[in-house]
Amino acid sequence: MEKIQFEEGDHASSKICRRGPSRQDRGRSPTVARVGQVLVKIGGAGVCHSDLHVMDENLGFKPPFILGHENAGWIEELGEGVTSFEKGDAVAVYGPWGCGRCYSCQLSMENYCENWASLGTFGGGLGSDGGMADYMLVSSARLLVPLGDLSPAKAASKLRFLTHPFLLKE
């Protein structure tokens, strides 16, 4: 699979989106390095208008990083201390990532994290490498949602409705 990476352009003020071999094709597969991290083999990555905003507006994200914040796949590797999942489990990756410690994060409202500015990223595809590649390293198992028998490809195509509920219509 080719990755879709957001990079600085040739000119100081330009930014580009580049397609190319994924890191795995270049022999630099992401690996679980810290306690609590999870490596997900991507089965589907959705594209939404937010990806355009990441590329076209100065949102404070420093390239380069791989795009994709609506992702689902299967657990490939578990970091030390992760006991809530097993290798091969189908999961969706929650889009915005927070610190996991502040009041908002404790209420599962990571998108309102009180410490976001100190993290340097708002999550996979939003400052950190996202899911438009073969694998995605997720900072914590708390950001994963079990899919059961649901296909990760189908789940990824629906994730925008979880993060943008106004798109749902009766």
DSSP 6-63: EEE-SSTT-EEEEEEE-GGGGT------STT-EEEEEEEEE--HHHHHHHHS--S--S
| pLDDT of 47 strictly over 60 | yes
Number of domains in the chain: 1
Paired tokens of 14: 């330009």
Query: What are 136's strand-pairing partners?
Result: 40
Q: pTM above the 0.85 mark?
A: no
| pLDDT of 115 strictly over 90 | yes
Q: What is the C-alpha separation between 100 and 110, in angstroms, rounded? A: 7
| End-to-end Cα distance, the chain | 36
What CATH number does residue 135 fall under?
A: 3.90.180.10
Question: What single-letter amino acid sits at 118?
Answer: S
| pLDDT of 85 strictly over 90 | yes
pLDDT confidence tier of residue 92, bands split at 50, 70 and 90: very high
pLDDT confidence tier of residue 118, bands split at 50, 70 and 90: confident
- Structural domain range at position 132: 2-167
Query: For 104, what's the count of Cα atoms within 13 Å in the CB-facing half-sphere?
Result: 12
Calculate mean pLDDT across residues 119-140: 87
Q: Which residue has the higher pLDDT, 17 or 27?
A: 17
**CA angle centred on 118, ends 113 and 124, rounded to 5°:** 65
